[in-house]
Amino acid sequence: MIRSLAALALCFCLAACATDQPPKEKPPEKDVAAKPGESQADAKRREQRLSQALMDFDGRVDRYMLLASQPGEDARSERNLLAPALSAEVAQFKPDLLRLLADKSNEQRRRVAAKALAFCDDPAAVTALVKVLGERDDVVLVNNAVIALGRIRSPNTPAEPLLALVGERDADVRSNALLALWHIFDAKRAVGASPLDPVAQQGAVATIETALFDPADPLVRANAAAALGALGDPRAVDSLLNLLRDDHPLVRTQTAIALSKLGDEKAIPALVKIIDTTPSGTPRKAVILSLTALLEKQGIHVPDSVGDEGTSWERFVREHVGPGAEK
């Protein structure tokens, strides 16, 4: 209240002083750079449309990302409506967004441009987003670019700049870099390409494994597990088996799925062992589905009657895989 009264008194004082001074001239508006063949009026209208689009992108992309983190059919339905609408609008402003992302004179516009380009399938967007990953002084910009690359999921995205972010101090950057690597490795495999060359892959396993036991953030651990599963390197199996001890449901879910992708049969007894201590719902379903996938790779069909209880699985595995397999 005191601060408000003081501000009001200052306004009255300034108004009184202004009556004794000649009116100041309004500063001229800064001209917007016009394109060749474009009038100044058209350039201003274009700039107004762009400014409005950036405000729309800022809010609507955040809304999409929030929906992406929520379970349920309602969130999925809204997300499925919002994504094509955003893609269509981004396509209209693609040249402007690419230009703004490269323009270091306006920090906020760069951040929004990176966020919006998550809904652009032009290879130029991937190139532009990768280019800003090295600008570590702007954590928000880098994080937005990483999220965008993870959503685009282009098999042409180089993995090395994202691997370099796995050790970043900011937990969001680490987590989203691992999430992007997961989707990009999967995308490369989907087109028949190897995620990395053999030498780089060995280093990538070691880099990602450092994040498996991040003490502060279960999302980092979960995304690290998913990235190793997508990478498909059998050297990660033992580390993932150790991660099955993690108490966080999301970490167990992604670790179980990663082990099923790697296909090593020694994961079978470890997965059986954690069934009863894994929360029901999605986490336990992930463990059961991963077990089923591993067994079917060995030609063993799993009937629905096995259910989701640890004792039933112990008995089934003992009968079909061999004594001691459930230990």
CA 180 centroid distance within chain: 6
Closest to 167 measured CA to CA, from 132, 211, 202, 136: 211
The residue-averaged pLDDT of 113-133 equals: 96
pLDDT in tens, 255-310: 999 999 999 999 999 999 999 999 999 999 999 999 999 999 989 999 999 999 99
pLDDT in tens, 63-94: 999 998 888 899 999 999 999 999 999 999 99
Distance between CA atoms of residues 81 and 306, nearest Å: 39
The residues near 238 (Cβ < 8 Å, ≥ 6 apart) are: none
The residues near 63 (Cβ < 8 Å, ≥ 6 apart) are: 82
How sure is the predictor about 38, in pLDDT bands with cuts at 50, 70 and 90? low
Please tell me the predicted confidence (pLDDT) of residue 21.
Answer: 45
Q: Could you tell me the pTM of the whole model? A: 0.83
Looking at every residue in the chain, the average pLDDT score rounds to 87
Distance between CA atoms of residues 60 and 70, nearest Å: 16
DSSP string, 90-151: HHHTHHHHHHHHH-TT-HHHHHHHHHHGGG---HHHHHHHHHGGG-TT-HHHHHHHHHHHHH
Distance between CA atoms of residues 110 and 101, nearest Å: 5
Q: Which residue has the higher pLDDT, 49 or 28?
A: 49
How sure is the predictor about 138, in pLDDT bands with cuts at 50, 70 and 90? very high
The residue-averaged pLDDT of 185-199 equals: 94
Residue 86 DSSP class: H
Please tell me the predicted confidence (pLDDT) of residue 37.
Answer: 63
Residue 21 DSSP class: S
Structural tokens at position 327: 């230990």
DSSP string, 199-262: HHHHHHHHHHHTTTT-SS-HHHHHHHHHHHHHHT-GGGHHHHHHHTT---HHHHHHHHHHHHHH
Is the per-residue pLDDT at 41 higher than 90?
no
Structural tokens at position 15: 């108004």
How sure is the predictor about 326, in pLDDT bands with cuts at 50, 70 and 90? very low
Structural tokens at position 43: 């350039």
